[in-house]
Amino acid sequence: FKLDVQLRKAIKKQEFFLQFQPIFSLGKQQPVICNIEALIRWKTNKGEVVSPAEFIPYAEQSGLILPMGEWIIAEAFKHWAKLVKDSGHEVGLSINISPRQFRDHSLPLRIAGQLQRYHLPARLLTLEITESAVFEHEEQALETLKQFKAIGVRLSLDDFGVGNSSLFKLKHLPLDELKIDRAFMIDVPESSADSEIVSTIIKTAGILGLSVVVEGIETEAQLEFLRKIGCDCIQGFLLGRPMDIQGIPPLLVAAK
């Protein structure tokens, strides 16, 4: 594969970098930043920035996601630890864990090692796991989820609602959070059916003891709707795009 060769070179040449997108809690009068989600970017030697949507699937297939994922975790922790130390804010970190990474038996210990290294509390770390990682090898996945819970990190099911998990199945899993896919928000609040679907998922998640992050909030009307129905947290271009880490401290000051 051409892309495979390019990715190997890109790792060597350190062409990857991380951006961070804020996640906001809606509990207060104003949205308050609670987490930052690390998102990988690839700047090629030609200067173009390639979306992870294009290269993560290849990295996943080829196994390159393992060294890449290791770099992502180390890099994200480095920036996160500095942010927490410099700002004095207990802002959390969310990291995307691909299915292949999730099945890597050494991952729980390595995550625990990073937390220890920087003296960061495990409860501030959220691992975003996709439905396919959890439901394709359910028994094995359950063991892995338990190992992570033993460390004390939070577990979030990313892109919820567009794959083949069901709210019922979630009942048996030690998850902390659902991240509702942005596809659900496109016609909210204009479509009363779509709005009803979102509020039903949020209500059901609450019954299951899960907190909710709704993705893809791009308009004030969407924000207003979610506030009204008591949604915990949101993420989206309206309040914050993926940005370099330098963009985060000003948002924390505003949160005080």
Q: Which residues bind ligand G (CB under 6 A)?
A: 21, 38-40, 51-53, 56, 72, 96, 98, 158-159, 182, 215-218, 235-237, 242
Token pair 């500095």 in the structure block, residue? 82
- In the list ligand G, Mn ion, Na ion, none, the entry touching 237 (Cβ below 5 to 8 angstroms by class) is ligand G
Which residue number, 10 or 36, has a Cβ lying nearer to Na ion?
36
In whole angstroms, the minimum distance from the beta carbon of 88 to ligand G comes to 26
| Cα(216)–Cα(219) distance, integer angstroms | 9
Smallest Cα–Cα separation from 252: which of 7, 3, 1, 24?
24
In whole angstroms, the minimum distance from the beta carbon of 215 to Na ion comes to 5
Name which position in 37, 159, 177, 232 contacts Na ion (CB under 5 A).
Answer: 159
| Cα(249)–Cα(61) distance, integer angstroms | 36
Residue 85 is inside which H or E element, if any? helix 65-87
User: Total residues at the site for Mn ion (CB under 5 A)?
Assistant: 3
The one-character DSSP state at 186 is: T
Question: Does residue 131 belong to the site contacting Na ion (CB under 5 A)?
Answer: no
| Cα(9)–Cα(114) distance, integer angstroms | 26
Q: Which residues bind Na ion (CB under 5 A)?
A: 158-159
Residues making contact with Mn ion (CB under 5 A): 96, 128, 158
